[in-house]
Every structure is written in C-alpha cells, then in structure tokens.
Amino acid sequence: MSVLDNVNSPKDVKKLNYKELNELCSDIRELLINTVSQTGGHLASNLGVVELTVALHTVFNSPNDQIVFDVGHQCYTHKILTGRKDQFSTLRTENGISGFTRPNESIHDVFSSGHSSVSISQAIGLAKAKRIRGDKGKVIAIIGDGALTGGLAYEALNNSGGEESSLIVILNDNNMSISQNVGSVSKHLTTIRTSKRYFTFKSKVQRAIAEIPKVGAQISRFITVVNSKIRKRVYHNATFFEDMGFRYYGPIDGHNLNDLIAVLTAAKVHNHSVLIHVKTTKGKGYNPAEKNPTQFHGIGKFDIETGEPKSSGETFSSTFGRTMCDLAKSDLRICCVTAAMTEGTGLSEFSKLFPNRFFDVGIAEQHAVTFSSGLAKNGMIPIFAVYSTFLQRSYDQLIHDVAMQNTKVIFGIDRAGFVGEDGESHQGIFDVAFLNTVPNMTVYAPSNFEELSLMFGKAIYRDDGAIAIRYPRGKALEMPENYHYDKCDYTIFGDPNCKNCIVTYGKEFSECYAALGELEDTYIIKLNKIKPINKDVINVLENTKNVYFFEEAIKTGGVGEIFASMLEENNINVNYRHIAVTDGFVKQAPVEHQLKQYKLDRDSIVEEVKNG
C-alpha cells in the first residue's frame, strides 16, 4: 500500500513524518503522469509544485488558511490532497473535476481560476476582509515568476503596503511562464538565484533556527533582522520585494521538504506581509517534461514511455504560423507579437527566422496591444497572436490605444469558439461581442486553412485600421468539395429562392454545411467578414421566409443580434431565429458535446430547421 492510499484530506498529510512525506510526493507524481497521459492537461507546472503543495498542507490549515493559486494550472496536487483523489481520473472530462481551481468542487478552492497575475490582488482582498471581520488564519498566494510579467501583479504588490499580517506570497520561480520568460523581472530573479554565498549561508541559518524547539514565534522578529543583514551584506541594498513592503525569505529549494516546511512555519507566525521565493524545476520527476517543459505545459494525451503526443498534424495555429513566415519573407514591415504564447499560437518558427521582428512581451496582453500600436505608428505591420480568452484582458487598449488612434494592428485570435476540456475560463465565446463594440474594427472568420491564410494577406495589404481574424482550435473542418475563398465578404451555398436560410460563420459553418445535406428547400449564407457585415447580404433574403442564425459565441452582442437589427432596419420581414450561447459559462466537455448542448451541432441544426 502506498502512502497516498491513506491520504484523503489535509489532516492526513499532517500525520506523516518526513520520510512518508517524501514518499507521498513520489506517489503523487506517479498519479499525475498516469492521469494526464490519459486526459491531457497541465503536467509540467504541476510536477514542479508537488513538494511545495505538500508542505503547504503540512503547515497550514485549509480552508481556514486560504490558499490561492495564480492561474490555477498548478493545482492538481492540491486537488489530490483535498478530498478529490478518487475523482482525479475524471480530470478535465465532462462532469469530472476541472483542471483549474473551482469553489463548486471543494471548500479548499477559494476562486475559480484560469487567467494569470490575479492571485495577489485576490489574496489582499481576502486578508483585509479577514482583518475587518476578526477572522483568524493566513492567506497564501502562489504566483509563478511568469505571472509577474503581468502588470496586475505589481498593482497588487504596490497596494499591499506590507501591512497585512495575514498575507503570504509565494513566488514559484521556475524560470518559465509558458514559453521562456523575458524581461527585467526574470533577470532580477536570476541575479538573486545565482548568489551562492547568500543561499549557502542563509540555508545554514534557517536549518539551525528550525531545530530550536517551541521558540519559533519568539524569534520571528530576530529572523527578520538577520535576513535583512544577510541581504545587505550580499547585495548592499534591500531586495525589490522588501522595497514593496514585504519581508523576504529565499531563495528556497522548492523540492526540499525540510527547507520548505521550515520557512513556511516561520512565515506562519510572522506579524508582517511575507514573500517567500521558492526555486522549482518545471516538469520535476518526469524526464520528457523536464527536458521540454513548454510542450508539457498544456498537453493532450501522450505515451508515458516516450513522452510523444498521441495526436498531431496541421492545425489552424500551425497554419497561422506558416502564413506569417511566408508573408514576412517578402515584407520587412511584418512583425509578430505574443504574450508568452510562442508555441501555443504557432510562432516558434517565426521567432527563429525573424528574431528582430518577433516580440514576446510576457503575460501582458494590455501592454502587447498598446506596444503593437506603437509599432504600427512608426510604419510596421504588427500581428498580435493571442487566444480569444486572453484578449478579453486588453479591451480598453483595443478601444483607446488602437481604434481611437486609427493604427493598423492585426489580431490573430486563436482558440475562438468552444475549446472543450479547458473549461469555463478558456472558452473563446466573448470576443465577437466585445469586438462588435469597437469602432472602425474589421473582423474576419475563416472556416478553413486556405481562408485563414488569404484573410491575413487581405488584412495586411487591403484593409486599414484595426483588423481581427478569429479562428478555432484544432484541425481542418468539413468543407464543400473544391471550395475556394474568393475574398468576398460572404458566400452563398444553394438557391437563395429557397424558403429557409441558414446564416453562420467560422467553425460553425462546418456543422451547418453537414446539416444542409439533410434539409430541403434550404440554403446557407456563410459570412466571411462578420464586422462590418456587408449590407448587400440583406437583399439576398428578400424572398426567404425563415432565417436561422447559428453562432458559436455568446448571444448577447453577437453577430446574430447585429444581423437581426439589419433585417429590421431594411424592412426585411422574415421569421428569425438566433441560436447561440445563452447567458452563462460553458463548462468543460468535448467540443462535440458542447455543440450539442447549445444546439449548434449538425443534428440540432436539422431539427431546428425542420421544426421551424
């Protein structure tokens, strides 16, 4: 029987000795690798925080002590230790447990997570509320060094002021975000990390103090003084984090349970805000993930023996990357921007071929948009490659720094529409609605690889102002035989004199076209440009009785609503139905199940039109 077999709650963790705790970490790593190889998920980030999470639940008392995971993509060990071990095989499956923290799963999950750089803000709010209410317990925020490239983290650090005695921030420093980190923050952490005199001397002091029984609380102030003197001796000045008002501990070996438990115990009795700098290895304990942490950050099913993914092939993302390389070879103005998603957005090859025209700005979508506007202002043609769910973070910059300035910035919006098992925080269903509100914005929606490439060419050489091209995750979709994009704003399939018309765009066209073969007296209008909608398309519907608009996006503010208003304004009297995602968040499930749930799959389309 393994140690993990007897661990069903944080209380069970506290009963274990150091030998058993280390065995528990080995058991957890084995479970992580076996499960994620079958379900897909975030493996490297979770393997890197096994010891840290075990140490947290050894020292602190969740949920009275509240643990907030930034992004939440490193919470698997936390889930296993907080009563979800037996459910772990359902990770990221429909009706199973999420790959991120979710309060509806457990009282040990404080927030629903999925986006970066938010944990310190959340933790400060929790800590201040505890103080106002007189509640006991600490609040611990775990944030990766990559998340410190996001400005929200600094707003929070600045706001904390060091006065919140129940606040502990743990900086998980693995020298990675998703792609390799960039910028001055990473350099600063590297400087701290490579001071061997500091690390050696401080480790000896910590161990000596930890071995003194029952007096940790009394010498807490002494630890602070000693730490300060050590830092000043090595660096001749205070660390960045102390300047922000924190008591700084670190760097700590994030895979040494003795050191972790000692420093967490010291921080627990502190009467001031504390920041603990922990050094970890992403992918720890699984050689393929250690060698290639980027590939194993978010991975599908894979072979445990080889580490090779079980599926591969051309995708919309890889087509985008290849298109950018082809266009950039002959146009020195073209440059690409990403927010720590080089591999995910298909720009790895571009980054190698054109290093002077490739910019990874870190997890800083707001900066990426405004930075791109600056590039455009001085004659470049920037393409910002970003997941739909992350573009949400830069709405103000879209309006103020791009549209209002009338600069030509092109947005390659990846993962548009349903993204399956990633869950509520990552579904790309909101970009259409908020892009519809941005003046002078042009938006295209390709349905296949050829359209994607041609639309980017059109955006670069024929359009002005802000342009977005939104495309789905994954592989090629079903399309009409011999179909070629003719660069028109819309395409008609079938006879416009039919009684029924289906209107759609993007990935959803594949489902609608599949349904068309089972329908009579029906034709399809495929919108290639969804903002602004070409007004001529309305005239096509003059002899149509029923119009069905199918949209894989949020209904409120969607293209279907704009289309309906255009029908009314032009006195086109039809029976109109708009089928889209109603108010709410789309839960994790295979994409085909999500389509069926929202009546956007082929069978539901057939039923809707036949019963209409």
Beta strands in 500-560 (DSSP E): 500-505, 522-527, 529-531, 546-554
Q: Return the half-sphere exposure (C-beta side, CA atoms, 13 A cut-off) of residue 96.
A: 21
Catalytic residue among 79, 357, 393, 473: 393
Catalytic residue status for 164:
no
For residue 420, give both structure tokens: 């399956």
Contact assessment for residue 296 and residue 288, using Cβ atoms and an 8 Å cutoff = yes
Contact assessment for residue 488 and residue 455, using Cβ atoms and an 8 Å cutoff = no
- Please give the radius of gyration of the chain, using alpha carbons only, rounded to the nearest integer: 26
At 404, the amino acid letter reads M
Catalytic residue among 282, 357, 458, 526: 282
Catalytic residue among 51, 365, 451, 508: 365
Question: Distances in Å between the alpha carbon of 316 and those of 343, 433, 477, 506, 526?
Answer: 13, 22, 10, 12, 19
CA 497 to chain centre: 45
For residue 196, give both structure tokens: 């061997």
Tell the residue number behind the tokens 């000596």, with chain if given.
Answer: 208
The most distant pair of C-alpha atoms in the chain lies apart, rounded to whole Å, by 88
Cα distance between residue 417 and residue 388, in whole Å = 8
Catalytic residue status for 421:
no
Question: Distances in Å between the alpha carbon of 436 and those of 415, 424, 442, 576?
Answer: 18, 22, 9, 20
Beta strands in 90-187 (DSSP E): 139-144, 167-173
Cα distance between residue 175 and residue 189, in whole Å = 8
Cα distance between residue 262 and residue 267, in whole Å = 9
Contact assessment for residue 328 and residue 302, using Cβ atoms and an 8 Å cutoff = no
Catalytic residue status for 282:
yes
Which residue from 149, 78, 147, 138 is spatially nearest to 119, judged by alpha carbons?
147
Cα distance between residue 568 and residue 344, in whole Å = 41
Cα distance between residue 81 and residue 78, in whole Å = 5
> Catalytic site residues?
282, 365, 393
